[in-house]
Chain A
Amino acid sequence: DVKVTQSSRYLVKRTGEKVFLECVQDMDHENMFWYRQDPGLGLRLIYFSYDVKMKEKGDIPEGYSVSREKKERFSLILESASTNQTSMYLCASSAGGGNRISPLHFGNGTRLTVT
């Protein structure tokens, strides 16, 4: 089974801090994604990556950046955390290649609180 592991289940940070959320997948997937989940807003895509060192903006990239130095690891960075970034963050991965789109495999999520 694919396993997507997010390094922290809960995080509490202060406004202005630099925050790193780490995600590792063990199935050699090409694609990796960061979503945030807020009540009533579903899942919104922040950034995604389809290869090492490649990154693309999603729908709400402002205030975030990402890093993918190795295929299995995709990091989300909050350069200067703000209270409106308090949310549940979900990492996902999927196999790439061809026109057949594979389903997403999700981690357990990181609940970030910015005070």
Chain B
Amino acid sequence: AQKVTQAQTEISVVEKEDVTLDCVYETRDTTYYLFWYKQPPSGELVFLIRRNSFDEQNEISGRYSWNFQKSTSSFNFTITASQVVDSAVYFCALSETTNAGKSTFGDGTTLTVKP
């Protein structure tokens, strides 16, 4: 069975601080995909990044960066110089490559960025 753990339920930071959201996963599959989604207060989940199990390159996109480490089964997400608009619930998800790529989600981390 697949499992995704986001140990941080809630994080609160002050604007311009850096913040890292942790994600640890469990799977027996050798091929899989990892995702991060953002759910702002308006409610609609939005895709942020996808990574497959063969690609351990870290990625940076503006103020966002992702650190994928197979050795520790982790896919952590860092926001640099956080802004109030980053306040949201962030979900990490693990997808199979069969079964329509169905995803298992973590419980989510609620990030609050205070001005």
Produce 1/0 per residue, B64-104, CB < 8 A to A: 00000000000000000000000000010101110111111
Q: Which of A40-81 contact B (CB under 8 A)?
A: 40-45, 48-50, 56, 58
Produce 1/0 per residue, B23-53, CB < 8 A to A: 0000000010101010000011111001010
The answer on a CB contact under 8 Å between A108 and B44 is yes
A to B contact number (C-beta, < 8 Å)? 70
Q: How far is the CA of A91 from the CA of B21 in the complex (A)?
A: 25
The answer on a CB contact under 8 Å between B100 and A31 is yes
Min CB–CB distance A27 → chain B (angstroms) = 13
The answer on a CB contact under 8 Å between B100 and A94 is yes
In the complex where A33-B102, A48-B102 touch, is A101 in contact with B97 (Cβ < 8 A)?
yes
The answer on a CB contact under 8 Å between B100 and A48 is yes
The answer on a CB contact under 8 Å between A101 and B108 is no
Pairs A–B under 8 Å by Cβ, sample size 6: A45-B102, A58-B102, A99-B31, A100-B52, A106-B37, A108-B44
Min CB–CB distance A90 → chain B (angstroms) = 7
In the complex where A42-B105, A43-B105 touch, is A50 in contact with B43 (Cβ < 8 A)?
no
Select from chain B the residue with minimum beta-carbon distance to A106: B45
Min CB–CB distance A57 → chain B (angstroms) = 10
Which residue of A35, A49, A106 is within 8 Å of B44 (Cβ)? A106
Produce 1/0 per residue, A84-115, CB < 8 A to B: 00000010101010011111111111000000
